[in-house]
Structure formats: structure tokens, C-alpha cells
Amino acid sequence: MTRRKGLVIAMDGPAGVGKSTVGGLVAKSLGYKFINTGEMYRALTWKALEDGLDLNDNEAVLLLAKSLDWEFKPVDDAGTTLKTFINGTGVTQQIREERVSVNSSLVAGNPGVRRFLSKLQRDLGEGGSIVMEGRDITTNVFPDADVKIYLDASPEERADRRYRQLKAAGQEADRDKILAAILKRDLNDLKREINPLKQAPDALVIDSTKLTMHQVADKILRRIRKGAKANGRGK
Ligand code: DC
């Protein structure tokens, strides 16, 4: 096994729970890298749609995944957050399109694609000093992660947060529609046959319904410092 320089911090949880915000805060505070693995499923969904592929054609979508040149590079000044590039193009904007959000669960249900992307994720994280978030990081990608977090919040709270975000950005928002979309995404993630969203038995479960993102990040950092003292690791 590769000797890791720092910890692998794996984080899972449902859509819209704040994993990226919290993961970014934790990574920045530790001087680690952060990656949101949902971006990889979204990037492939976007490219498959652009190429006019049938997303139900598992073979074709897997072939596309294997044909792409995947890179993960920081774009922020601190160099913390790794962003997905395919064939040399950053796809941060494109992968937030509605058609991608709606169709990404089809690609995420493709067993070959999951194996392929899980391997990319393991390669990225094997050196350590990384916070990685998604749906199956604690259970499938890094079942041996040094720290496992399951971040949760009620669907209503997640819908409210999204509603407030959109309003604050001056955009139209319908709270009931947002809640319905969140419930649908939860169902897709929980009912998926391969690598569904579930709590790892040894994960620290944090319900963020009544907490700010900074409070959640502090909780995680406290746990990491406690663990680092106990086993003599950490920085
Ligand atoms: O986190 P997100 O909603 O941007 O993720 C996009 C899609 O990818 C969504 O359908 C969930 C799926 N996903 C997954 O199956 N496994 C992961 N590790 C990350 C995301």
C-alpha cells in the first residue's frame, strides 16, 4: 500500500447538504486538497449529452469515459479545490446546467462508469492530504479512509437553504419544486443498485439541520485533532 503523507478524509451525504462548502473549509484549514466527486459524474453526463449519446447505453457511455483525458487541477488562489477538466477544458459552468442535473443519476447508475470513476478517485486520493466528498467515498472508494463523515440535514432544511441561495442571487425560485427535486435525488441516490448512498458504520454522523457550515467544519476539525493525538498522526 502507498505510504500516505496526510490523512484521507472521506465525506458522504445527500444532495444539497453542504458537503462542498464544509469540505472546502476543512481542506483549507488543514492545507489539504478538496474534491467534489459529483463533478466527475456531471462532467461525463455533460459530454455524453453534447455528443448526443443515449445515456441508457451503458457501453457507449463507458467507452466515452475511457476515451477522455481527465485532469483535476486547482483554480482558486489557495490551490485547495481541484476542478475537473476533460480533454483540456474546464467544465465547471457547463456541469451546473439543468439538463446535467436531471440526467446525472442515469450516468451514476452505470456500473462500469462507477468502477472507472472510483479508480480515478482512488488514484487522486491515495497520496493522502485530501478531503473527498460524494455518495460512496466512505463505503466504496475509501473504505479505509482515516476520517469518515456522513453529513445529513432534513430535506426541508436543504430545500430552504437552496431557496435562500437562489433568492440571494436574485434568481427566481419555487420552494415546493426545489423540495420535490431534492426528494427525487435522494431516492435515486438511496435506491441505486450499485454503491448507493448509505452511512458507513464507522462514520461520524453530523446532522447539520441546525448548524452553520462553519460549525460543522469546526466539529470535523476537532474530531480530526482528537484522532491525530490518539494515534500520533496529523500535522
Ligand atoms: O453531488 P452532485 O449532486 O453534484 O452529484 C451528481 C450526480 O452524481 C448525482 O446523481 C449523484 C452522483 N454521485 C455519485 O453517484 N457518487 C458520487 N461519489 C458522487 C456523485
Answer whether 15's CB lies under 8 Å from 158's CB: yes
d(C-alpha 23, C-alpha 26), whole Å: 5
Cα dist. 171→17, 18, 180 in Å? 20, 20, 18
Neighbours of 112 (CB within 10 A): 15
Please, what are the averages of pLDDT over each run of 10 residues along the chain (235 residues)?
82 96 97 98 98 98 98 92 97 95 96 98 96 98 97 96 93 94 95 96 96 97 81 43
Distance 226 CA to ligand 1 centre (A): 30
Distance 81 CA to ligand 1 centre (A): 17
Which CATH homologous superfamily contains domain 8-220?
Answer: P-loop containing nucleotide triphosphate hydrolases (3.40.50.300)
Torsion of CA 4, 92, 88, 50, to 10 degrees: 130
Backbone dihedral angles phi then psi of residue 217, each to the nearest 5 degrees: -60, -40
| pTM summary value | 0.94
Q: Whose CA is nearest to atom 13 of ligand 1?
A: 38
What is residue 11's three-state secondary structure? strand
The half-sphere exposure of 56 on its side-chain side, counting CA atoms within 13 A, is 0
Distance 159 CA to ligand 1 centre (A): 17
d(C-alpha 132, C-alpha 130), whole Å: 6
**What confidence score (pLDDT) does residue 2 get?**
55
Neighbours of 145 (CB within 10 A): 24
**What confidence score (pLDDT) does residue 123 get?**
97
Report the nearest atom of ligand 1 relative to the CA of 121: 18
Residue whose CB lies within 8 A of the most ligand 1 atoms, among 83, 104, 148, for a mutation test? 104
Distance 229 CA to ligand 1 centre (A): 33
Distance 232 CA to ligand 1 centre (A): 34
**What confidence score (pLDDT) does residue 228 get?**
60
Q: Whose CA is nearest to atom 16 of ligand 1?
A: 135
**What confidence score (pLDDT) does residue 76 get?**
86
- For ligand 1, which residues put their CB under 6 angstroms from it? 15, 37-38, 41-42, 104-105, 108, 134-137, 189
Q: In sequence order, what are the residues at sequence separation of 6 or more whose Cβ sits closer than 8 angstroms to the Cβ of residue 24? A: 34, 80, 81, 131
Neighbours of 233 (CB within 10 A): 14
Which amino acid is residue 85, in one-letter code? F
Matching residue, cell 473549509: 25
Rg of the chain's alpha carbons, rounded to an integer? 17
**What confidence score (pLDDT) does residue 153 get?**
97
- Ramachandran area for residue 46 (φ above 0: left; ψ -120 to 50: alpha; else beta): alpha
Which amino acid is residue 222, in one-letter code? R
**What confidence score (pLDDT) does residue 77 get?**
85
Q: In sequence order, what are the residues at sequence separation of 6 or more whose Cβ sits closer than 8 angstroms to the Cβ of residue 4? A: 126, 127, 128, 129, 146
Neighbours of 185 (CB within 10 A): 20
